[in-house]
Amino acid sequence: MMKKLNTIDLFAGAGGLSLGFIKTGCFNIKAAVEFDKHAAETYAKNHEGVEILQEDAAEISFVEKIQNKYGKVDVVIGGPPCQGFSNANRQKNGLVSGNNQLVQHYVRAIEELDPTAFVLENVKTLESSKHFFFVCDDNIDEVLRLNIPTREERIAICSGEEPTAFAVGVLQYIDQLERYRMSAKGYTALCTLLKFSKIQKRAEEYIKEQNKKVTKLIDSWDSLHEHFWNADWEKFFKDSKDVISKFVNDQQDYNAYYERIKVLVEVERALERLHELKNNAIDYRQQRTERSITAIADTFSVKDYLEYKFDSLEYAINMKILNAANFGVPQTRERFIMIGIKKEIAGAQEIRLPLPLLQEEQFNTVRDAIEDLEKVETSIQANAPKIPVKEKGTSQLASLLCTENFICNHIVTDTGETAKKRFKALGQGENFHNLDKSLKDSYSLPERTQNTIYLRLEYDKPSGTVVNVRKSMWIHPTLDRALSVREAARLQSFTDKTIFCGPKNSQYQQVGNAVPPLLGQAIAECLLEQLGVKSESSLVEELRNEKQQYRVSI
């Protein structure tokens, strides 16, 4: 019997990728790294014998914690979070995403452990221009040494004539930004006020609902800034207290209030951007007009970084966007997958990724995955006990997923009356935008709501990409209730044996973040074939039935 390949799983989450690799019988998962305590608990519960390192991957010495303990690591798998940067969404996204840095720590693990092969899973947009690193003091030597291509990125620091006139004054005090920035709580409160103030009615409702918070902000106004870079900004900021108070207390002069909030946030946001550029040692050029301040910095794409870095580490690689539905998952989930194999092992062969096993007309559906749960009562308790199973699903997919004589995690969000009315009003395939106007009035900008919000699933199609379906308020195809954690897990191709731990929202989040185990299995079998190892599993055989003809993965 062949010795199993020593494997570690980084950014392991609930362990979907590991489950797919374990299914082949050829990988021995020695350790998994997962910082989130609830996801780590879930992983531990479903992967007996695997050491869970609930640590920050950015702080781990992989040699000390893993190689010195378990010996040579043959394979590294994992999906480091990677956040794209959008200048249009700068209120939420920082310039330098801590998540993006985790990609570099995944690469560091490969560099330290020197495995025979690795698999990197990520968002399908990883190849896009939104995913990049800034050239800074910490990486410029490596960028030059590897000759990684760079390009200029323009970052809007400030826009609008009045905000720009105020913000330009602080540019001569770049080394003292900490002195002039507003307190973090104050800045957050201002951003929240702006968010709910774009429509007068919504602004009035928010102030009424959150009167204590808004009053507290006004009462603490004089302490939000200790120092000002010039008299004009000091006067504008201090006068803003009266403008905001007047609207809050008397609900008059909405336009003056809203315009004041916009300028305050834009100027404070400019300080946040400038501080982040300085704090991360990013070299940039300034471009100014009367209506804007722009920073121009050199960047390099995450995709280019991975290609050039792995080539320097002597790996042959290939990457591709895979759709989980092509591998039996009842969900159209597209993910970026990269496989790397040491050049001395790969030889002249081109690295391959699995070919589709199912075509669109053969995809498994929501019905295949969850119809058998339609009559099973749900609970709103995160720690609800197991439910005995009286009848199991009859579909080919159900035969793979319905592995137990009980159901766990068949829990749902505790739905309010407004949400229930929305549930009842929507048919299969419909979403928030199909609602009557009267059922949208709690949203400040309903026209900007995503199509995945309040989505009622269609039984006879695969679902869309499963995220945190509690936050998205996904609805059961035929019942007027939210989708349960277990149902979401089925859509991700987790078997009923997998039990999720932690609070309800964490369970939903773990499911949404996971790699579908069936997709993981397809990738694992494809990797084994290229390493000359015979898998004990065959996904193509598991998915085959007399009604369908499939292509064999090569």
For residues 2 and 26, give the distance between their C-alpha atoms in angstroms, rounded to a whole number. 8
For the chain, how many helices (H) and strands (E)?
24, 13
Beta strands in 369-433 (DSSP E): 387-388, 406-407
Q: Measuring CA to CA, which residue among 445, 489, 441, 439 is closest to residue 463?
A: 489
- Taking alpha carbons only, the member of 440, 392, 416, 509 closest to residue 36 is 509
Q: What is the dihedral of CA 544, 545, 551, 554, to 10 degrees?
A: 20
What is the full DSSP assignment across 28-96? EEEEEE--SHHHHHHHHHHSTTPEEE-S-TTT--HIIIIIHHH----EEEE--------GGGTTT--SS
Options 82, 158, 501, 526, the catalytic residue:
82
Does residue 82 have an active-site annotation?
yes
* Cα–Cα distance for residue pair 11/13, rounded to 1 Å: 6
- Is the distance from CB of 337 to CB of 322 less than 8 angstroms? yes
Largest Cα separation within the chain, whole Å, is 80
Instruction: Return the residue matching tokens 């994992």.
Output: 78
Q: Which residue has the tokens 């009367």?
A: 290
State the Cα–Cα distance between residues 244 and 263, nearest whole angstrom: 13
Main-chain dihedrals φ then ψ at residue 250, nearest 5 degrees: -115, -10
Contacts of 185 (CB under 8 A, 6+ apart): none
**Ramachandran category for residue 397: left, alpha or beta (phi over 0 → left; psi -120 to 50 → alpha):** alpha
32 contacts 9 by C-beta, under 8 angstroms = yes
In three-state secondary structure terms, 538 is coil
Among residues 51, 20, 41, 9, which one has the least CA distance to residue 499?
Answer: 41
Quick one: which H or E segment has residue 319? strand 315-323
- d(C-alpha 276, C-alpha 110), whole Å: 29
Active site residues: 82
